[in-house]
Amino acid sequence: MIEVEGLTKYYGPVPGIKDVTFCVEKGEILGFLGPNGAGKTTTMRILTCFMPPSSGTARVKGFDVFKDSLEVRRRVGYMPENVPLYTDMPVRAYLSLVAELKGVRGRLRRAAVDRAIEECGLQGVNGRYIGKLSKGYRQRVGLAQALIHDPEVLILDEPTIGLDPRQIIEIRRLIRNLKGERTVILSSHILPEVSQICDNVIIINKGCLVAEKSTPEELDASLKRSNQVFLQVDGPSSAIISALKNLDGVLSVAQRDEVAGHINNYVVESMRDIDVRRHIAATVADNGWGLLELRSIGLSLEDIFIQLVTEETHSEVPLENSMQGIQKAAETSSPEETT
């Protein structure tokens, strides 16, 4: 549905993106992840025909974004980070105007407005002025204007920015409901948002892709240098740590938190190709300690993001500084955050 190959954009002598290549299948929700200023918005503006690339190609359903821009615009709905809403217009009148501008006319226009209002949950506010709406409802209006001409592709740039937690949940639910019906590219620097909504992710930093399209699970498998196990045990901490360190394949044992009395949390790191959970359980049982919890810890999307961006950021600094950054990122993620 979307094919991007060697996409590059320069702002004067400064590259905004460099040699970006990826594809998005029909019905897929792709997370476009990166820190602020990484090149996400530049890529999206090229895909939506707001600006041409300096080099490379981008096609939407076979149509080139530069040579066939009108055909691309007919098939793409775009919600920019700051949606240019007309705040002095009622919701329905604004959506009717947008529909007309996008070539939806006559009886089809009214049907399109009704569909967008229902799809985005605007029934209760469709007669109110946009300027009087909450931030959450204005984001809904922004999503509705992107959907008004029933596009096959939806490109959303930071759709939940500035929203409170309840509004974020509502917008995420609206986007998830689009899955399968439309192809969606979702740009965000909010990691839980991407992991909860998207089928696959790509990660960009300083204009370059630092992670090709993968699921979070695939990124975890490719980046994981060792296995980690979280356990909660009722027993003497010094004896527990000593016993676990003596198990074959164990690289380190760290005590995390004291829960109550002799109950403590531990993280055991082992060699990548060795699963030590069975041996941990047997050791705890043989010593008469109480095993309250035992589970593997995978890399969260946040861990993956920090690791990749840290490596990219420090690629031109001494190796020991780069490794310190990665180690610090790992140390600051708690077991409860890595699921």
pLDDT tens readout for residues 247-270: 999 999 999 877 777 899 999 999
Q: Are residues 149 and 290 in the same domain?
A: no
Q: Are residues 307 and 184 in the same domain?
A: no
What tokens does 158 get?
A: 């930071």
Q: Are residues 254 and 280 in the same domain?
A: yes
> Within a domain: residue 219?
no
Q: Are residues 66 and 118 in the same domain?
A: yes
Which pLDDT belongs to residue 310? 65
Q: Are residues 26 and 161 in the same domain?
A: yes
> Within a domain: residue 238?
yes
> Within a domain: residue 201?
yes
Q: Are residues 63 and 165 in the same domain?
A: yes
> Within a domain: residue 168?
yes
> Within a domain: residue 39?
yes
Which pLDDT belongs to residue 311? 59
User: For residues 179 and 171, what is the distance between their CA atoms, to the nearest angstrom?
Assistant: 13
Long-range contacts of 43-47 (CB under 8 A, 24+ apart): 43/4, 43/7, 43/17, 43/204, 44/78, 44/80, 44/155, 44/157, 44/185, 44/187, 46/7, 46/9, 47/2, 47/4, 47/72, 47/76, 47/155, 47/185
User: For residues 256 and 101, what is the distance between their CA atoms, to the nearest angstrom?
Assistant: 59
Where the chain has pLDDT below 50, the residues are 314-339
**Chain mean position to CA 142:** 20
Q: Provide the residue count of the chain.
A: 339
Q: Are residues 270 and 326 in the same domain?
A: no
> Within a domain: residue 220?
no
Q: What is the DSSP string of 24-38?
A: E-TT-EEEEE--TTS
What is the CATH number for 57?
3.40.50.300
Which range marks the domain in which residue 252 is found? 225-297
Predicted confidence (pLDDT) per residue in 104-131, tens digit: 988 899 999 999 999 888 999 999 999 9
**Chain mean position to CA 230:** 25
Q: Are residues 200 and 233 in the same domain?
A: no
Domain boundary among 188, 214, 240: 214
Output b/e per residue, 60-80; b: 16+ Cβ within 10 A.
Answer: bbebebeebbebbbbbbbbbb
Q: Within the chain, what is the greatest distance between any pair of CA atoms?
A: 79
294: which residues sit within 8 A by CB, 6+ positions away?
229, 230, 231, 232, 277, 280, 281
> Within a domain: residue 316?
yes
Domain count, the chain: 3
Q: Which of 263, 190, 198 lies closest to 231 in space, CA to CA?
A: 263
Q: Are residues 199 and 109 in the same domain?
A: yes
Q: Are residues 19 and 44 in the same domain?
A: yes
Which pLDDT belongs to residue 325? 38
Q: Are residues 308 and 291 in the same domain?
A: no
Domain boundary among 179, 214, 249: 214
Distances (CA, A) of 225 to 221, 241, 269: 9, 22, 10
Strand pairing class (250-260; 263-271): antiparallel
Domain boundary among 171, 189, 214: 214
> Within a domain: residue 284?
yes
What is the CATH number for 254?
3.30.70.3190
Chain position carrying tokens 């240098």: 225
Q: Are residues 26 and 82 in the same domain?
A: yes
Q: What single-letter amino acid sits at 289?
A: W
